[in-house]
Amino acid sequence: MSKKPLILVTNDDGINAPGIRTLIHVMNTIGEVVVVAPNSPQSGMGHAITLDSTLYVEKIIIDEGPQTEYSCSGTPADCVKLAIREKLTRKPDLCVSGINHGSNSSINVIYSGTMSAAIEAGIEGIPAIGFSLLDYAWSANFEHTKAFLKTIAENVLKNGLPQGIVLNVNIPNLAKNEIKGIKICRQARANWVEEFDKRKTPQGKDYYWLTGKFVNLDGGEDTDEWALEHGYVSVVPTQFDLTAHHYLKNLNDWNLND
């Protein structure tokens, strides 16, 4: 009998979040699961790493499952680094991050702690997937995501992913029978139009809360936003070579050394 695949699970909402508990539950049906996840929510952390403070990692038991779990004081990227260097005895066959409570589609990938963990694993040459559900609520219903998590994770284990590519998977907040299927997509050109909510402290000093609304500027029908709006699970192959290769020649034409 072949050895079960080793699966590293992490997230950015914290090790107690219902999203990661669902993900662990499904991964237990596929392989041997080790969890190294933040001990508190880290949303909006982007690809932060902890350079100037200490990191703690503690073995904990949260439920009755067969997985091994560690709670970490760092960011999602820290968790992946620590898992690989300090906690795992061999290189994992897969790293899955999530399920994020809320969308990481289109430009959200840039701000996403969930995806930063997947990218960190990708940098280490580990096939990796970030999963997100389009529901920000802590009490979100993850039941309908299970079949998709399993299908996509099993396919990544079977097919592998090339060096430099991880998957960004977003799942609509719909009943299972309303989801039309899985769609391979490109990242939509979209952004947030921030509105700062300006207030005064009781002492009279101005301060701000960051708020905003999401604007999809992309009319394409091959984007993650289109897929999600039309009832599909979106899968975007995501790379961390950020070079705009198509623009190298134009920049050379600037003749910056003249």
Site for a copy of itself in 56-85 (CB under 8 A): 56-57, 77-78, 81-82, 84-85
Residue 13 marked in a binding site: yes
| Least spacing, CB of residue 1 vs a copy of itself, in Å | 26
Asked if 117 and 11 count as a contact pair (C-beta separation under 8 A), the reply is: yes
- Main-chain dihedrals φ then ψ at residue 172, nearest 5 degrees: -65, 155
Stretch that binds a copy of itself, among 24-32, 89-97, 138-146, 155-163 (CB under 8 A): 155-163
Residue 206 marked in a binding site: no
Indicate the residue among 66 and 243 with the shorter CB distance to a copy of itself.
243
Considering only residues 86 through 105, tell me which ones interact with a copy of itself, judged by CB under 8 A.
Answer: 86
Asked if 135 and 22 count as a contact pair (C-beta separation under 8 A), the reply is: no
Binding residues for a copy of itself, how many (CB under 8 A)?
Answer: 73
Q: In 124-145, which ranges are continuous DSSP H helix?
A: none
Which SS3 state, helix, strand or coil, does residue 38 take? Answer: strand
3-state DSSP of 184-198: ECECCCEEEEEEEEE
Considering only residues 111 through 150, tell me which ones interact with a copy of itself, judged by CB under 8 A.
Answer: 111, 116, 119, 123-124
Binding status of residue 239 toward a copy of itself by CB under 8 A: yes
Distance between CA atoms of 98 and 65, rounded to whole angstroms? Answer: 18
Stretch that binds a copy of itself, among 21-29, 89-97, 137-145, 160-168 (CB under 8 A): 160-168
For residue 68, give Cα distances in angstroms to 24, 34, 71: 10, 5, 10
Residue 12 marked in a binding site: yes
Distance between CA atoms of 200 and 96, rounded to whole angstroms? Answer: 42
Q: Euclidean distance between the first and final Cα of the chain, in Å? A: 66
Residue 63 marked in a binding site: no
Considering only residues 186 through 205, tell me which ones interact with a copy of itself, judged by CB under 8 A.
Answer: 186-187, 189, 191, 194-196, 198, 205
Indicate the residue among 51 and 63 with the shorter CB distance to a copy of itself.
51
